[in-house]
Structure 1
Amino acid sequence: MTFDAEPFTVAVKESAREASEPARRLATIEGDRVTFDSETEAHRRARELSAEGESVVKVQRAAPQDPDDVDGYLVGWPQRRHQTPDGSPAEGLTFDTEANQYGALGEAVVLTPEVNPPLLTHFARVDADLGEADADGDAGDVRVELDTDPDPVTVGSDRRWEPDCRAVVRLGPDRPVLTEYFCEVKAGDGSFERSQREAMRAKAREATVLKIRVDLDDLPDSYTAWVRTVAPEGDGEGETHRVNASLDSF
């Protein structure tokens, strides 16, 4: 048997799923790891997915020391629809928004400001059932403080999750901690890596883990966010809360 005739297993990476609807469908139907008859077949399928979608995806070989048991990765291949921006420096330059920039916008909306960001503040009130008032304080005094650089969560040697934030909830400044959340924020249809999901489930055994998805289509006037608690077992997803908020709601 020649090398090219050997099965070739590819991990569908988050960058590919974020960039390409056909790649997302492939991962939904066949899973995060897809085995092709050969490496040539894997590259051929990547070209087909690129032609079917609006963005390019490619197959990259896995490094020899890579801990994942795969031969390669299907990844998004950043490529502007225009090689040069429209306009001029004097008139203004217009660029296409890339996936990583879109993701950064989602994080900025959810995690700004670092004290009482609207979405997490509203979620904390609902989650703690603080309605009108609480025996230990006024619900209006709920205070959510963000740590946007928490320690990463690791499981074994090859499962790692870097939370976008740790949110600490109190009923006012200098009050005892009521609860805390470890959060991952995705904008649009961004997907969660398998290694992320496993580390998130592990963290959920000891703390509340939130998966937050943000729809930015109505910016700059409003946005919609979905908050899902991560269960430590099963499919890793718990109750979903939907929150609609205008930018001046809080």
Structure 2
Amino acid sequence: MVDRADSFRVAVKDSARAENRAVRRLVATNGEVVSFDAEPAAHERARQLSADGETPVKVQRAAPQDPTDVDAYLVAWPRRRRWSPEGSPTEGLTFDAEANQYGALAEAVVCTPRVNPPLLTHYARIDADADAEDLRVELDADPEPVAAGPSDRRWEPDCRAVVRLGPDRPVLTEYWCEIKAGDGSFERSQREAMAAKAREATVLKIRVDLDELPDSYTAWVREVAPDESDAGTDRVNSSLDDF
């Protein structure tokens, strides 16, 4: 146990907890104020939490006039995004990955292929207690929006999965799905409309844990030249052989 009189005390800010899963685990174990032997140990722990969580965090010294009984705060410190890509189309354009792209990746994992996607097919087998060879799950990737309540709360499902016991057979059941990546939250309007839809159909909330996601990505863009013999490797209109 660290002696409080000689310790370096760090209070965890809400921003750090909201943005970093590893920080939430730290708070659950140690509380909202964490004591360290010295300030360097606190900075080292912040680096570990940044590596383990989604968003970097840092230790920020408390102001001299701060009335709280702490030496510093652990705060979220998101990496500054590149709004303009680096590079060129032929050499490669590097962009920062965005949250909505992670969400799209989660949807692709759940909704691919359109017939018998693995997750929903396995869930349907358990739910319907059906033979694996007979079950067929067909996806509608653009279902109608769902509205509910006097305020007309809207929910746009990510997909509707129709379950049959074979091609062209009657519908056995169907699932209306909302898909989130990681700790993505469900909006209040979504929750209300989802609850209303659940009175008449099965509604599934699906979370996809995507490990080791890249912070950035690089892509190359080159056009197919009408006459590839005229295409140079240093132009946007490079040949497919140069790609």
TM-score bracket for this pair, using the shorter chain length? 0.5 to 0.7
Partners of 1:113 and 1:80 lie apart in 2 by: 35
Give the aligned partner of residue 21 of structure 1. Answer: 19
Match of 2:96, SS?
Answer: coil
Partners of 2:121 and 2:213 lie apart in 1 by: 20
State yes or no: 1:81 paired with 2:81.
yes
State yes or no: 1:115 paired with 2:115.
yes
| Structure whose alpha-carbon radius of gyration is higher | 2
Which amino acid counterpart does residue 125 of structure 2 have in structure 1?
R
Report matched runs for 1:1-250 at 5 Å.
21=19, 52-55=75-78, 81-130=81-130, 133=131, 139-155=132-148, 156-217=150-211
Q: CA deviation at 1:140?
A: 1.3
Q: Residue 80 and residue 103 in structure 1: after superposition, are their counterparts in 2 closer, same or farther (change >3 A)?
A: farther
Aligned length: 146
Q: Residue 161 and residue 91 in structure 1: after superposition, are their counterparts in 2 closer, same or farther (change >3 A)?
A: same
Partners of 2:19 and 2:175 lie apart in 1 by: 31
Q: Residue 219 and residue 81 in structure 1: after superposition, are their counterparts in 2 closer, same or farther (change >3 A)?
A: closer
Q: Residue 154 and residue 98 in structure 1: after superposition, are their counterparts in 2 closer, same or farther (change >3 A)?
A: same
Name the structure where strand makes up a greater proportion of residues: 1
Match of 1:173, SS?
Answer: coil
Partners of 2:209 and 2:103 lie apart in 1 by: 11
Bigger relative contact order, structure 1 or 2, given CA contacts below 8 A and separation 6+? 2
**The 10-residue stretch of structure 1 (208-217 or 87-96) with the greater mean CA deviation from structure 2:** 87-96
Q: CA deviation at 1:80?
A: 5.5
Normalised to the residue count of structure 2, the TM-score between the two structures is 0.54
Partners of 1:200 and 1:191 lie apart in 2 by: 14
Q: CA deviation at 1:88?
A: 3.7
Q: CA deviation at 1:21?
A: 1.5
Q: CA deviation at 1:216?
A: 1.6
The percent identity for this pair of structures is 77
- Residue 166 of structure 1 contacts residue 182 of structure 1 at CA under 8 Å; is this kept in 2? yes
Which amino acid counterpart does residue 118 of structure 1 have in structure 2?
P
Partners of 1:218 and 1:175 lie apart in 2 by: 41
Which amino acid counterpart does residue 147 of structure 2 have in structure 1?
T
Q: CA deviation at 1:95?
A: 1.4
Q: CA deviation at 1:188?
A: 1.2
Q: Residue 197 and residue 157 in structure 1: after superposition, are their counterparts in 2 closer, same or farther (change >3 A)?
A: same
Gaps of at least 5 residues in structure 1 are 1-16, 26-50, 56-78, 134-138, 221-250
Partners of 2:80 and 2:124 lie apart in 1 by: 39
**How far does the alpha carbon of each residue in 1:91-145 deviate from its partner, in whole angstroms, 9 at most, with x for none?**
3222111011111111111111111111111110111122xx4xxxxx3121001
Gaps of at least 5 residues in structure 2 are 1-14, 25-73, 215-243
Match of 2:108, SS?
Answer: helix
Q: CA deviation at 1:168?
A: 0.4
Q: CA deviation at 1:219?
A: 7.2
- Residue 87 of structure 1 contacts residue 93 of structure 1 at CA under 8 Å; is this kept in 2? yes
**How far does the alpha carbon of each residue in 1:202-236 deviate from its partner, in whole angstroms, 9 at most, with x for none?**
1111110000000121579xxxxxxxxxxxxxxxx
